[in-house]
Structure 1
Amino acid sequence: MPPAAAHPAAAPHPPVALRRIVQLFRPYRARLAAVAALVCLSSVVAMASPFMLRAVLDDALPHGRTGLLTLLVAGMVAVSILTSSFGVWQTYISTAVGQDVMHDLRSAVYARLQRMPLSFFTRTRTGEVQSRIANDIGGMQSTVTSTASSLVSNVTTVIAAVIAMIALDWRLTVVSLLMLPLFVWISRRVGDERRKITAQRQHQLAGMSAIIEESLSVSGILLSRTMGRSSALVDSFARESRELVDLEIRSNMAGRWRQSTIQIVMSAMPAVIYWVAGFAVAGGHPLVSIGTLVAFTTLQTSLLRPMVQLLSTGVAVQSSLALFGRIFEYLDLEPGIREPAEPVAVGTVRGDVRFEKVGFAYPADFADEREVLRDIDITVPAGTSLAIVGETGSGKTTLGYLVARLYDVTSGRVTLDGTDVRALSFADLAEAVGVVSQETYLFHASVAENLRFAKPEATREQLHDAARIARIHDHIMSLPEGYDTTVGERGYRFSGGEKQRLAVARAVLRDPPVLVLDEATSALDARTEQDVQAAVDALSVDRTTITIAHRLSTIRDADQIAVLAHGRVVERGTHDELMAAQGRYAALVSRDDAVPYASA
C-alpha cells in the first residue's frame, strides 16, 4: 500500500456514441412512449392558456362578458390541474425507467467483472473497481433518470410554444428566436469543457476510493500504525480531497458566466418585444392588440424555462459522456475466460485429471509477460494425490489453478475424465473442482454464512459435520455466539490456522471429486500446522487431490510428486524415489528441513 497514492493523469476514453446510450433505454420503449404521450398532452394543454388569456383581455373584460370570463378562468384552472397531474405521472414513470437503466448498468458491470480472469484483478486496484460501480454509475443517476423525460418535455414545450407564438404573430416570433443559434453554440462549448473536467474528477474519486479501501482495512491500519505513517496518510488523503474540491468547483463553475448571459438575454426578450411593439404604436402602425401582446410575452416567458433546461440538459449529457466512457470501458473488456456456447454435459465425475503438453503465459498487458509453464505432461488418476513442488516463481500455483480454469492454458489442454475443462460449463466445473487457496478469504458475516457460501442450502447439522472434519467445530462452539459469531473484516477475529480450517470446512460442504490445495502452512507454527494438515488429510480422502506444496514435510505420502523448475517438470516420482535420486527434490527437502517452524 503506497503511503501517497500518486495518480497518473486520467487516460482519455474513446468517444461514446449517443446511439449506444440510447440503446440502454430500448427495453423500456413502452414506458418511454407513455412518458412522451403524457408530455405531449401536457404541452398541448398548457398552450391553451395564452389563447384564453388573450380572449380574457381582448373580449371578456372589455365587453363585460362575465359568463365567458367564468368559462375562461375555469379553463385556465383546469389546464393547471391537468398539466400538474400529467407532470406527476411523467416524473414517476421516467424516474422508474431511469432507475431500471441504472440497475441494468450496475448488474452488467458486476457480471462482466465476475467473468474476468484473475490477472485482471491482480493488476487493478480494488478501489478503482469499486469507484466505477459506485461513483461513476452514481454520477450518471440524475442524467439517466431525468434526461429522457426532460428532453421530450422541453422539446415538446418549445415546439408547441413556437407554433403558438407564430399563430399569434410571426414577426414577433422571428425577433424572439434570432439569438437561438448563439445560445446553442455557447452550450456546446460549456458541455465540452465540463466533460473534460468530469473525467478528471472521476479519476480523482477512483484514486480516493483506492486509498480508503487500502489504508482503512484491518491490514492497512496495522501497517500504518506499526510503521508510524498514520499522520502521513492523513496528510496524503487531505491533499487528494483538496484536489477533488478544486475539480468539483471547476466543474460547477465551468461556463457559468456564459450560461448566465443566455438567461439574462432570454429574460430580457419580453422587454424587447414590448419595446418593438411600443415603437410600432408610436409610429401609427400597431402590430398587435394588447391581448395578443400579453399572450405573446406570456408564451415567451413559458419558453424561457424549457429553452434554458434544454441547453442545460445538453451540457449535462456532454458531461456525463465521460462517465459513460468509463463504464463502457469495463463493459467492453474481453472476459479472457469464456464459457463454451454448447458445454459438454457431465455425469458422475470420477476425477481423472491430465495435463497434456500444457503451456501458459500471462497476457501481454500483464507485468510478467514471460512464459510461466511449458510442455507439462502429468496424469493424476482418480482418487490419487499429486504434489507440485518447486522454487518460488516456478509456476506451482498457476499449474494448480489451470484445473479450475482460474486461468486458461495458452497451449495444450487440461482434461477432467478425458474432457477438456474448457468444454465444461462454469457451474459443472465448479461442482467438480474445489480450490482451497493459501489466502483464506472470509466475508464480514457470521461463521455459518461464510460456510454456507459453499452450499447455501446446508443445514446446521451439515455445518457441524463439516466443521468436525476440519477440526474447527469445538473452537466455533466455544465462541460466545457459536456459529452465529461474526468473523470480522476478512476474518480477522480468527487466527491463520483457524481461518484455514474454516476454508477446509467450506470445501467439505462443497464435496468436489477433485480438490486443489494451495497449501498455506508455511507461516504456521508446528502445532497449528498439524491441526490444519489433519483437516486437509481428512478432506482429501477418496478424492483426487492436487497439492501445491510450500512445506515439503506435508506431502511425503503423496502418490506422486512433480518438481517444477523454470516452468517445466524436471523430476517426478514418489518421495522415496526422488530422495533416492538425490536430485533437485532432495535438495529442496534438505533445505526445507533446515528451516525451523514458525513460532506460535
Structure 2
Amino acid sequence: MEPTHSGRDRGPRKVSAAEKEQARQVSLRRIGRLFARHRSGLATVTAIIVVSSVLAMASPFLLRAVIDRALPERELTLLVWLVAGMVGVAALTSVLGVAQTWISTRIGQQVMHRLRTDVFTHLQRQSLAFFTRTRTGEVQSRITNDIGGMQSVVTSTATSIASNLTTVVATAAAMAALSWRLSLVSLVVLPPAIWLTRRVAHLRREITARRQRELADLNVTVEEGLSVSGVQLAKTLGTGPALAARFAASSARLVDLELRTELAGRWRMATMSIVFAAIPAVLYLSAGLPGTAGTLSIGTLVAFTALQGGLFRPLMGLLNVGVSVTASLALFARIFEYLDLPVEVGDPAKPVDVDPRRVRGDLRLTDVTFRYPGSDTAAVAGVTLDVPAGTSLALVGETGSGKSTLAALVSRLYDPTSGRITVDGVDLRHLRLADLAGIVGVVSQETYLLHTTVRENLRYARPDASDAEIEAAARSAQIHDLIAGLPDGYDTVVGSRGHRFSGGEKQRLAIARTLLRDPRILILDEATSALDTETERAVQRAFDEVARGRTTITIAHRLSTVREADQIAVLDHGRIVESGSHHSLLERAGRYAALAA
C-alpha cells in the first residue's frame, strides 16, 4: 500500500513566517464577496438600521422638551404627548430591531452554510494524497472549529457595522445640534479608544491563530484516542495515561490562550469605561465655567449627557467589530487555504459522455509511471498491460511491489505521472469521476463501514437500490444468511467502523456493497485476506459467478486465489517482470514460481 504521512504534532506548534504572511494577505474584499448574493437583504437591514437610529435620536429632544417646557410650565397635554412619543419611539425601534435581527441572522447563517458546504465539497474533490499527508482530525477541526469560530463575525459583522456606525453618526449629529461646544469636549475619548483598539486587535489576531491550531491539535488527540481503533491501540500498548497527559497539556494551553483573549479585551473595556465615566463630570464642569455658565438649559445638559452616555455602546461596538474582524482574519486564512487547494484529480473540462451500463470494460495501461508526491522513486514504472473486456488479471508480487498503487491508478485515486490508462479506448482523465465510479468497483483489504444499519451501509453504494437488489448482492457475497439471522436483520446497526462484525464479515459486506453498483471493471485488492479458508472458498465461488462478463483485477498474496486468472502479472519494485498464465509462469521457473514455492 502507498505510504501514509500523518505528520502529527506533539506539542504547541510555532507560527511559521509563511502562515503569518498568509494571514496578512487575506483580502477583506474576498470576505465581502461571501455576502455578494445577499445585497438586497443587506440593503433592507441597512434601511431598517437607519430608520431605527433616526427614530432613537428623537428621544433626547423629547426629554429636553419634558424638562424645559412641559414640567416647568405644567402643560399636561404636552407632557402626555411627549411621554407617549418616547414610549412609541421605544416600541417602534424594538419592532424594527426584531426584524433586523431576523434578516441579518438568516443572511449570516446562509453564508455559513455555503462556506461549510463549499469547504466540504472542495475537500471531497481532493486526491487521496491530500488526506494521506494531512493530520487525522485536522480537516474536521477546520470545518467545525474554524468555521464555527467565524460564526459571530459572519452573522453580525455587516449589521453591526451599519447599526453602530449609523447610531454613532446620528448621535454625534444630535449632540452637535444640542451643543457644539460640549461635542468638542466629548471628542477627547476618540484618540485613546482608537489606539487601544488597534493594540487589542493585533494581539487578538495572533492569539486566535494560535488558539485554532491548538484546537486542531486537541481534535487530533480526540480522534486518535477515542476512536474504536485508537482505544484498542491505547489499551493494548498501555498508552492511555500518555494520551490523557497529552490531552491535558493541550487543554491547559487552550485555557491560557482563552484567558489572554478575554483579558486583552477586558483591560481595554475597563480603560474606556473610566474615560467615558469621566466625560459627564467634564461636561458638568464645562457647563459651569464662566464662559459657558447660563448659556445651556438644564434640559439641554441632561439630554446631552444622556446622548453622550448612549454613545459609549455603539462606539465601542464599532471598535469591537474592527477587533473581531482583525482577529478572524486568522480563521479566514485557514479556511481560504483549503478552498484554494488545487484539485489534483478532478473532472475534465470537456468530459467524454459515456453510459456506464454500456461500457464493455476493455482496460489498457500504456507505459504507466507514477511517483507519490515528494518521492524520487517511482512506485510504478513503465507498466503496460492489456486486459480485454470480460477477462481477469491477477497482480502478484512482494509487499511494496506496486500492486495496490496500480489498482489505485485504475480507479483514479491518483493520476499517472506519465503514460495513460484507458477503458474502451477512452483515457480515464477524460471521464467524469461519477461515471468512472459506476464503471470501476473496488473491494479493498481495508474495509470501512458507516455507523448505521446494514441496509444503509449497502445502499450507500446505490441510494436507489431496492431491498430485493440489496439482498441479492448480499447473497452473492455469501453474507445474506448471517444478516438474516441477526435479531434486527438488515436493520442491525453495524457499530463504529463495523466493529460489531468480524473481519471476514466486514469484507463480505464491503463486497456486497460494491457488487450492488454492478461495475464493469471489478478490482479486488486483497479482498479475501481476512477470510478463513472455508469462507474464502465460498466467496471465491461468488466472485467467479459475478466476474462473468466483467473485467476483473485481483491482487493477492495467496496465489491459490489467482490460479484461474486469464493472465497474471508479477511486479517487482513497480515493474512487470513476468506475465502469463499460471501454468506458463510455473514452467518458466522464475519469480512467480519462487513466490508459489
Q: How much does 1:284 deviate?
A: 6.9
Which residues of 2 match residues 201-212 of structure 1 at below 5 A? 201-212=211-222
- 1:164 matched to 2:169? The reply is no
Does 2:294 match 1:286? yes
Q: Structure 2: how far apart are the matches of 1:6 and 1:586?
A: 51
SS of alignment partner, residue 346 of structure 2: coil
CA apart distance, 1:56: 1.8
1:329 partnered with 2:341: no
Superposition deviation, residue 442 in structure 1: 0.3
Output one character per residue of 1:509-538: Cα deviation in whole Å (capped at 9) or x when no partner.
100111111123344432333233333333
Which residue of 361, 373, 381 maps to 1:351?
Answer: 361
Q: How far has the Cα of 1:560 moved from its partner?
A: 0.8
Task: Summarize deviations over 1:125-147 as a string: whole Å, max 9, x none.
Answer: 23111111111111111121111
CA distance in 2, matches of 1:3, 1:152: 44
Which residue of 2 is the match for residue 318 of structure 1?
326
Letter in 2 for 1:346: V
Where in structure 2 are the equivalents of 1:427-506 lying within 5 Å?
A: 427-506=434-513
Q: Secondary structure at the match of 1:445?
A: coil
When normalised by structure 1's length, the TM-score is 0.94
Opposite residue 84 of structure 1, the aligned amino acid is: S
- Partners of 1:575 and 1:88 lie apart in 2 by 78
Query: Aligned residues: percent identity?
Result: 59
Give 1:426's match in structure 2, choosing from 415, 433, 443. Answer: 433
Partner AA of 2:312 in structure 1: L
Aligned to 1:597: none
Contact 1:504 1:536 (C-alpha < 8 Å) held by counterparts: no
Which residue of structure 2 lines up, in the alignment, with residue 227 of structure 1?
237
Q: Distance in 2 between matches of 1:103 and 1:485?
A: 32
The answer (yes or no) to whether the contact 1:358–1:412 under 8 Å persists in 2 is: yes
**Which AA in structure 1 matches 2:82?**
L
Equivalent pair of 1:519/1:547 in contact (CA under 8 Å): yes
CA distance in 1 between partners of 2:393 and 2:117 (Å): 39
Match of 1:525 among 510, 527, 532: 532
Whether the 8 Å contact between 1:3 and 1:233 is mirrored in structure 2 is no
Q: Distance in 1 between matches of 2:445 and 2:14?
A: 36
What is the rounded CA distance, in whole Å, between the counterparts of 1:17 and 1:287 in structure 2?
51
- The partner residue of 2:67 within 32, 57, 64 is 57
Give the aligned partner of residue 49 of structure 2.
39
Report the CA distance between 1:285 and its aligned residue. 4.4
Q: 1:121 to 1:469 in 2, by over 3 A?
A: same
Q: 2:372 aligns with which of 334, 349, 362?
A: 362
How many Å separate the matches in 2 of 1:3 and 1:343?
Answer: 38
Specify the SS of the correspondent of 1:317.
helix
Is 1:200 the counterpart of 2:210? The answer is yes
**Would the aligned equivalents of 2:394 and 2:565 in 1 still touch at CA under 8 Å?**
yes
State how far apart, in whole Å, the 2-side matches of 1:258 and 1:271 are. 21
Q: 8 Å contact 1:56–1:69 — kept in the other structure?
A: yes
Written as runs of structure 1 = structure 2, the 5 A alignment for 1:388-399 is 388-399=395-406
Q: Which residue of 1 aligns with 2:592?
A: 585
Q: How far off its partner does 1:212 sit?
A: 0.9
Alpha carbons of 1:357 and 1:287: their partners in 2 closer, same or farther (altered >3 Å)?
farther
8 Å CA contact 1:38–1:90 kept in 2: the answer is yes
**1:95–1:146: 8 Å Cα contact kept in structure 2?**
yes
Amino acid of the structure 2 residue aligned with 1:290: I
What displacement does 1:374 show?
2.0
Gaps of 5+ in 1: 591-600
Partner of 1:86: 96
By how many angstroms is 1:223 displaced? 1.4
Q: Deviations over 1:161-192 (max 9, x none)?
A: 11111111222111111231331121111011
User: Kindly tell me: are residues 233 and 157 of structure 1, through their superposed partners in 2, closer, same or farther at Cα, counting changes over 3 Å?
Assistant: same
Secondary structure of residue in 1 paired with 2:449: coil
1:9 counterpart (1, 14, 36)? 14
Alignment partner, residue 143 of structure 1: 153
From 301, 304, 314, the counterpart of 2:312? 304
Q: Within 2, Cα distance between the matches of 1:272 and 1:464?
A: 84
Equivalent residue runs for 1:395-410 within 5 Å: 395-410=402-417
Equivalent of 1:271, from 270, 277, 281?
A: 281
**CA-CA distance at 1:76 after TM superposition:** 0.9
Report if the CA contact (8 A) 1:497-1:532 is conserved: no
Q: 1:310 to 1:545 in 2, by over 3 A?
A: same
SS of 1:382's equivalent in the other structure is: coil
Report the residue type matching 2:352 in the other structure.
Answer: V
Once the two structures are superposed, what CA deviation does each residue of 1:204-229 show, in whole Å capped at 9, x if it has no partner? 11111111111111111111112222
Q: Is the 8 A contact 1:42 1:86 kept in 2?
A: yes
- Alignment partners' CA distance in 1, 2:493 and 2:267: 55
Give the drift of 1:2.
11
Cα deviation for residue 589 of structure 1 reads 1.7
Distance (Å, rounded) in 1 between the aligned partners of 2:396 and 2:145: 44
Counterpart for residue 383 of structure 1:
390
C-alpha distance in 2 between matches for 1:212 and 1:522: 30
Matched, 1:260 2:270: yes
Q: Is the contact between residue 9 and residue 217 of structure 2 (CA under 8 Å) also seen in structure 1?
A: no
Q: 1:215 aligns with which of 208, 221, 225?
A: 225
1:18 CA displacement: 1.2
Residues 1:2 and 1:146: Cα distance change in structure 2 (over 3 Å) = closer
Measure how far apart 1:373 and its partner are: 1.6
CA displacement at 1:80 relative to structure 2: 0.3
Return closer, same or farther for 1:483/1:523 CA change in 2, 3 Å cut-off: closer
Aligned length, in residue pairs: 585
SS at match of 2:421: strand
- Paired position in structure 1 for 2:3: none
Residues 1:71 and 2:76 aligned together: no
C-alpha displacement of 1:455: 1.1
Q: Which secondary structure does the structure 2 equivalent of 1:550 belong to? A: coil
Secondary structure of 1:242's aligned partner: helix
Give the conservation status (yes or no) of the 8 Å contact 2:11–2:250. no
* Contact 1:3/1:229 (<8 A) preserved: no
* Equivalent residue, structure 2, for 1:544: 551
Separation (CA, whole Å) in 1 of partners of 2:170 and 2:33: 28
Which amino acid letter does the alignment assign opposite residue 90 of structure 2?
S
Q: Supply the AA of the counterpart residue of 1:68.
A: L
- Structure 1 residues 532 and 7, CA gap change in structure 2 (3 angstroms): farther
CA distance in 1, matches of 2:511, 2:292: 99
CA contact (8 A) 2:7 2:135 kept: no
- How many Å separate the matches in 1 of 2:265 and 2:292? 44
Cα distance, 1:274–1:39 mapped onto 2, change above 3 Å: same
Contact 2:287 2:293 in 1 (8 A): no
Q: Choose the corresponding residue for 1:338, options 337, 343, 346.
A: 346
State how far apart, in whole Å, the 2-side matches of 1:381 and 1:163 are: 83
Amino acid at match of 1:163: A
CA distance in 2, matches of 1:539, 1:511: 9
Q: Secondary structure at the match of 1:126?
A: coil
Cα separation, 2, equivalents of 1:514 and 1:10: 47
Residue identity opposite 2:304 in structure 1: F
- Shift of residue 231, structure 1, vs aligned partner: 2.4
Judging changes above 3 Å, is the alpha-carbon distance between structure 1 residues 458 and 431 closer, same or farther for their aligned structure 2 residues? same
Aligned partner of residue 137 in structure 2, secondary structure: helix
The answer to whether the 8 Å contact 1:132/1:326 transfers is yes
**Cα offset, 1:255, TM superposition:** 4.4
Contact 1:3 1:232 in 2 (8 A): no
RMSD: 1.7
Matched, 1:177 2:187: yes
